[in-house]
Amino acid sequence: MDNQSLKNKKIIISAGASGIGLATAKVCLSRGATVYLCDLNEKYITKLKKHPLKNKRLFAYVCDASNEYDVSNFFFEIKKKTKKIDALINNVGVAGPTGNLEKLESDDWEKTLKINVISHFYFSKLAIPMLKKNKGGSIINLSSGAGIMGFPLRSPYAASKWAVIGVTKTLAMELGKFKIRVNAICPGTIKGDRMVRVIRDKANFLNISKKNIEKEFVSMASMNCWIYEEDIAKTCSFLISNDGERISGQTIAVDGNAIRLD
């Protein structure tokens, strides 16, 4: 069998109805997996109801990943369909506020950490027993270049993404004996809606043109390129597949070799 195949693999994705999450769902579906995804955005979930694989290999639910009650309901629905899973992708994460730390509100800090870190805890806590039942599998946590280097004007975001790597390394140690592998992916500057918003906010904050900020962002990678959602999707697929079966505890940057983040 093709080692990259995800045939019969069952995969949960948080915040999977657009962006990197949706690209990952599509790649996993195209390689034979069954995908259970959730998202806060009802409109996106409704749109997914038209997907040809809906109710066959794609199951989509509305859920606020930062609300423990919602997450447990999401898992309740999944467990009606399967007791075991092969992978959890903790994809949810917001950009948080833009500004110098001394000007930020504690509310913004709390919200960013709640969504980007504590929600991962909610999902992992419920997914681990299902991975153990499966006698192994994979957890992938979405961090960021900001989780390796720091990110000026985005201190809560950077703090949250460093925390994601800390949890990844720790969980990989805790779960290795159960053949559950835990890795973090650090995307670079992704061509997509999120970066349009990040660039707009930074341009407004610094009173510089969006074009200049965009150029700066792309030039932070040695390869001087945008990264695409599918690049992250394919890395997730690789880590879940048999080809990735001995990779755990790693922080994998998919960023064209980002050498600075400013």
Ligand X SMILES: NC(=O)c1ccc[n+]([C@@H]2O[C@H](COP(=O)([O-])OP(=O)(O)OC[C@H]3O[C@@H](n4cnc5c(N)ncnc54)[C@H](O)[C@@H]3O)[C@@H](O)[C@H]2O)c1
State the residues that interact with ligand X by CB under 6 A: 15, 17-21, 39-41, 44, 64-66, 91-94, 115, 142, 144, 187, 189-190, 192-195
Find the shortest distance in angstroms from Cβ 120 to ligand X. 9
Minimum distance from residue 188 beta carbon to ligand X (Å): 7
Nearer to ligand X, 75 or 134 (CB): 75
DSSP letter assigned to residue 190: B
Cβ(12)–Cβ(123) under 8 Å?
A: yes
Q: In the bound complex, what is the minimum distance in angstroms from residue 129's beta carbon to ligand X? A: 22
Radius of gyration of the chain (CA): 18
Contact 37, 16 (CB under 8 A): yes
CA dist., res. 123 & res. 198, Å (int): 26
40 or 134: CB nearest ligand X: 40
| Contact partners, residue 245, CB within 8 Å, separation at least 6 | 181
Closest approach, Cβ 101 to ligand X, in A, equals 19
Q: Is 151 left (phi over 0), alpha (psi -120 to 50) or beta?
A: beta
Q: Nearer Cβ to ligand X, position 121 or 242?
A: 121
Closer residue to ligand X (CB): 99 or 192: 192
How far is Cα 233 from Cα 20, in angstroms, rounded to an integer? 7
Nearer to ligand X, 40 or 131 (CB): 40
Residue labelled with tokens 């259970």:
36
Between CA 88 and CA 48 the distance in angstroms is 20
Could you give the CA distance from residue 63 to residue 14 in angstroms, rounded to a whole number?
9
Query: C-beta of 8: minimal distance to ligand X in Å?
Result: 26
Shortest distance, position 195 Cβ to ligand X, whole Å: 5
CB of 50 to ligand X, least distance (A): 16
Closer of 134 and 184 to ligand X (Cβ): 184
Contact 154, 95 (CB under 8 A): yes
91 vs 241, which CB is nearer to ligand X?
91
Distances (CA, A) of 211 to 35, 136, 204: 37, 46, 12
| Tokens 């800090």 found at | 109
